[in-house]
Structure 1
């Protein structure tokens, strides 16, 4: 039997993303990717150990597509640019959002992104535990937003249903859901990130004050 043709990581990722974009994340298996590539399923194991390893390749590809160079200026502006680029990269393949959350610490491209963010925070004067909390808080906003945008969007059916609840029983929820229908994903992401950044800057100023 002839040996399977050589495959690159890029070919594996392209095939995996084609399956996910077409059929959803649940369809991502070694068998479906092998079929997409036109090779035997067992032949695929020459290149990746299992589905988890394949998922890490996909997440790494997405993060590596993000330009980590940011314009000179305030550190907050650099963070805005960087996180927005990640959001755009994930939006090209929205079904992989759960994989980003699951494998963000295993993919080398993710580590490269975190290093770039830490560089921005360091340039803004953050260090030690303050830098740890700031970085984790910013990632929490990003990852939470990705889940919201692709699985609980304000434009989705859930918001519509809540906006039509009885105003007598749920006055605040019904009104808030109605207001939410006019908020775009861009506005939701950027205003939320602005709130986080203002909070971090205020905390930094408070911690810089001399003890009384």
Structure 2
């Protein structure tokens, strides 16, 4: 029998199947992924290096999906675009988050996106010994606001009289509108703080 012109497995197909499997909440592993693809685990091992290899394929696939083009511009413009892409990624794939944060990043495309962010901060004037810390703060910010999408519409429900909270809740936005507004405000606050720190560094 002639071999098929298109290989049955590819990195993208494996990554897409893994994303679908993890998003579904089903148990995730090499054997489960092989079953979902209709292949044997040994076939998968011809393309990936075990469970960690699958996670990196997933990371790279999602990274290219949510940041299809590397951001350009000033350091703060690059921060904004990066945070928006990362937040969408985490918000739409919350079940994948524990897998991604629990493994060292090695995917070339994702490393390149972090390099763009780090280089923008260096070029913007942030000292070398603070850049990775700033990147970690930004990463945690995007992660937190991505997971915020999973919050219930009613975050607070006071059972006793309050001085201010109840009144504020009554007129506040709910659901996705609240999450979007809080993210934009939070991003403004983070940028204001970074600009202030940069100005202080320049004055020293």
Contact 1:59–1:103 (CA under 8 A) maintained in structure 2: no
| Matching of residue 113 in structure 1 with residue 113 in structure 2 | yes
1:136-187 per-position Cα deviation (integer Å, ceiling 9, x unaligned) = 221121122223324xx2xx1661xx32x2233x656656665463652221
1:134 maps to which residue?
134
SS in 1 for 2:195: helix
- Normalised by the length of structure 1, the TM-score is 0.77
Match of 2:46, SS state, is coil
TM-score (norm 2): 0.79
Residues 1:17 and 2:19 aligned together: yes
Cα RMSD for the two superposed structures: 2.8
**Shift in Å, 1:18:** 2.4
Unaligned runs of 5+ in 1: none
Q: Distance in 2 between matches of 1:120 and 1:68?
A: 15
Shift of 1:41: 3.0
In 2, Cα distance between equivalents of 1:31 and 1:158: 39
Q: 2:160 aligns with which of 167, 190, 195?
A: 167
Q: What is the CA distance between 1:6 and its match in structure 2? A: 5.3
Q: Is 2:193 the partner of 1:192?
A: no
Gaps of 5+ in 2: 1-6
CA distance in 2, matches of 1:27, 1:46: 22
- Equivalence for 2:4: none
Q: How does 1:14-163 map to 2 (within 5 A)?
A: 14-21=16-23, 23-24=24-25, 26-65=26-65, 66-72=67-73, 74-103=74-103, 105-150=105-150, 153=151, 156=152, 159=155, 162-163=156-157
Counterpart of 2:68 in 1: which secondary structure? coil
How far did 1:190 drift?
Answer: 1.7
Give the structure, 1 or 2, with the largest relative contact order (CA under 8 Å, sep 6 or more).
2
- TM-fit CA distance, 1:33: 1.4
Instruction: Output the CA distance in 2 between the equivalents of 1:176 and 1:51.
Output: 46
Q: Is the 8 A contact 1:67 1:85 kept in 2?
A: no
